[in-house]
Structure 1
Amino acid sequence: MKHVVACIDGSASTQSVCDYASWAALRLQTPLTLFHVLDEARYPTETNMTGNIGLGSREALLEQLAELDQQRSKLALEQGHHMLESAKLRATQSGVEHINLRQRHGDLAESLLEVEDSMRLLVMGLHGEETTRTNRVGSQLETVVRTMHRPILIAPEEFTEPKNVMLAFDGSDSSRKGIRMLAESPIFRGLPLHLVMVGADTNDSRASIEAASNHLRELGHNARFEIRSGEVEPALHAYQEEHNIDLLVMGAYGHSRIRQFLVGSTTTSLLQTTNSALLLLR
């Protein structure tokens, strides 16, 4: 059975990540896996001193430094274990019954790829443990989005239970895939769905978004659509504010374009400015 996987890292977003993952697991009726990866760059399992052979009296000092690194790694593992246990308690209090804890030592993206086959949805925080004020999107998030093939729910620092969902629709393959997901996934059942297209209100664009909206309605969803002019990011944010949208859904790039992520894209712009949860479809 596929799981909702939540990345727990001790950042300011950790509690929100846990809450969004619990919300998703309950609506999908699937187990929740709380996942913590100890960064091997910060906490190496072994200290490499091969370049320091022959330094004589300094070898004792290097050995002491290696022991300190091992102690730091051990303490970090213990801290991660406590974080996972705290997150499990929080998820249990939210009503989630089936919870797995996983802790690994290595690279985050590579570790997630190893469990991707058992993953239905990945939940990560917008702000990583080392995110700065000038860079709102964590570097780990960028790498994971480039790598993964599963939907990624990106959580802000504060949890708000989604009551209204908006899909940024442009008629592309990824946005049509978004329509299928909105139609079929139980995570959206009973929630008002807003389809918003930014661009010229032509016969073709109206026919495309109207057909998508009608498809959702035929399957029992409360769906509406709107076409707005202007720049994409301000128009989408304006619609969000006017209609109290809690969750924005977007199609991420296909792998042929994924390396453009965080290089002047609409996705990047929305990640940099959003204050709500963002679901990226793959």
Structure 2
Amino acid sequence: MKHIFACIDGSPSSEAVCDAGAWVSQRVGRKLILLHVLDKKVFPTRTDLSGNLGVDTRDHLLDELAELDARRSKLALEAGKRQLQVAVARVKTKGVDSPETLQRHGHFVESLAELQEDTRLLVLGRQGEAHDSGEGIGSNLENVIRTLSCRILITPPDFIPPKKVLLAYDASPTAKKVLYIVSRSPLFKGIPIHLLIVGESSEEKQRLLDEAREQLEKEGHAGVITALKPGEVEETMLGYLADEELDMIIMGAYGHSRIRQFLVGSTTTNLLRKSPVPILLMRQ
């Protein structure tokens, strides 16, 4: 059985990741695993000692550097264990009785890729420990989105369980698959869904929206709202999100329309940076 993985570190976003992971775990009835990855990039590159130093001096410095690396690695691993302990305590307060923990040492994206077969949903903070600004997104996030094929929930520094959500739709094969998954998943049962197509109004687009709404209603989703809005994808989605006071965006990571160009282009980071709510990206 696949599990919910929540990636924590020493950043303020870890609290939101814990809260989001606990919410997902309880909604879908899957085990929550709190994951800490000690990324190899946190260690500095070994200094080049191949210059004019004598052999004895060079060997002595290499030994000291190796000892220093070992000490730093041990301290970092201990700090990670402590962060996991704090995360366990937090998710228990959110109702998760038996969370598990996992610690990995390696490249962050590669470590997540190795766990992908066991991942139902991955929860990430918009900014990680290495991010030194209150704006923007973490350096690893875009690589994770482009590399992994699992579902990814990206949360801003604060997570509030959603009361109303936005499902971006374009009737592409990917969007229809996302619609199918959302309609049958317990994650959003009982939560009103807004279906939005960004594009010029037409009878065909309205028909596609009506079909999507009917599919959701057939699976027990009540109060589905449809909307067809012209404009640019990013601006229109964020405007609709604000106007309707929605709490989460759900969207497929690939499609055939402007949403596809939007998601694989440079404006991906703009949406992640600007969105005040979590974003659930689905590629399968």
TM-score (norm. length: structure 2): 0.90
- Give me the whole-angstrom Cα distance separating, in 2, the residues matched to 1:202 and 1:175: 19
SS in 2 for 1:66: helix
Give, in angstroms, the shift of residue 49 of structure 1.
Answer: 7.2
SS in 1 for 2:273: helix
Q: Which residue of 2 aligns with 1:124?
A: 124
Q: Which residue of 1 aligns with 2:178?
A: 178
Q: Which residue of 2 aligns with 1:213?
A: 213
Query: Retained in 1: the 8 A contact 2:49–2:58?
Result: no
- Give me the whole-angstrom Cα distance separating, in 1, the residues matched to 2:19 and 2:240: 25
Aligned counterparts, 1:99-118, within 5 A: 99-118=99-118
Q: Which residue of 2 aligns with 1:245?
A: 246
Give, in angstroms, the shift of residue 48 of structure 1.
Answer: 8.4
- Give me the whole-angstrom Cα distance separating, in 2, the residues matched to 1:240 and 1:260: 17
Give, in angstroms, the shift of residue 178 of structure 1.
Answer: 1.8
Query: Retained in 2: the 8 A contact 1:146–1:259?
Result: no
Supply the AA of the counterpart residue of 1:28.
Answer: V
- Give me the whole-angstrom Cα distance separating, in 1, the residues matched to 2:97 and 2:167: 30
- Give me the whole-angstrom Cα distance separating, in 2, the residues matched to 1:41 and 1:62: 19
Query: Retained in 2: the 8 A contact 1:194–1:225?
Result: yes
Give, in angstroms, the shift of residue 10 of structure 1.
Answer: 1.4
Aligned counterparts, 1:224-263, within 5 A: 224-253=225-254, 263=265
Supply the AA of the counterpart residue of 1:193.
Answer: I
Give, in angstroms, the shift of residue 54 of structure 1.
Answer: 5.0
Supply the AA of the counterpart residue of 1:264.
Answer: S
CA deviation profile, 1:231-258 (whole Å, cap 9, x unmatched):
211211111112211110111137xx99
Query: Retained in 2: the 8 A contact 1:142–1:262?
Result: no
TM-score (norm. length: structure 1): 0.91
CA deviation profile, 1:2-35 (whole Å, cap 9, x unmatched):
1100011212210000100000000011100011
Name structure 1 gaps, 5 residues minimum.
Answer: none
Query: Retained in 2: the 8 A contact 1:19–1:91?
Result: yes
Give, in angstroms, the shift of residue 113 of structure 1.
Answer: 1.6
Query: Retained in 2: the 8 A contact 1:142–1:261?
Result: no
CA deviation profile, 1:87-118 (whole Å, cap 9, x unmatched):
01111111112311110110111111222111
RMSD of aligned residue pairs (Cα, Å): 2.4
SS in 1 for 2:200: coil
Instruction: Tell me whether 1:81 sits opposite 2:85 in the alignment.
Output: no
Instruction: Tell me whether 1:198 sits opposite 2:192 in the alignment.
Output: no
Q: Which residue of 1 aligns with 2:36?
A: 36
- Give me the whole-angstrom Cα distance separating, in 2, the residues matched to 1:260 and 1:197: 14
Give, in angstroms, the shift of residue 197 of structure 1.
Answer: 1.0
Q: Which residue of 2 aligns with 1:72?
A: 72
Count of residue pairs the alignment pairs up: 278
- Give me the whole-angstrom Cα distance separating, in 1, the residues matched to 2:48 and 2:263: 37
- Give me the whole-angstrom Cα distance separating, in 2, the residues matched to 1:105 and 1:150: 21
- Give me the whole-angstrom Cα distance separating, in 1, the residues matched to 2:216 and 2:22: 26
Supply the AA of the counterpart residue of 1:273.
Answer: K
- Give me the whole-angstrom Cα distance separating, in 1, the residues matched to 2:131 and 2:171: 34
- Give me the whole-angstrom Cα distance separating, in 2, the residues matched to 1:89 and 1:229: 46
CA deviation profile, 1:240-282 (whole Å, cap 9, x unmatched):
112211110111137xx999966424x3331121111000011
* Comparing 11-20 and 55-64, the one that deviates more: 55-64
Give, in angstroms, the shift of residue 193 of structure 1.
Answer: 0.5
SS in 1 for 2:5: strand
Q: Which residue of 1 aligns with 2:25?
A: 25
- Give me the whole-angstrom Cα distance separating, in 2, the residues matched to 1:179 and 1:209: 11
Q: Which residue of 2 aligns with 1:94?
A: 94
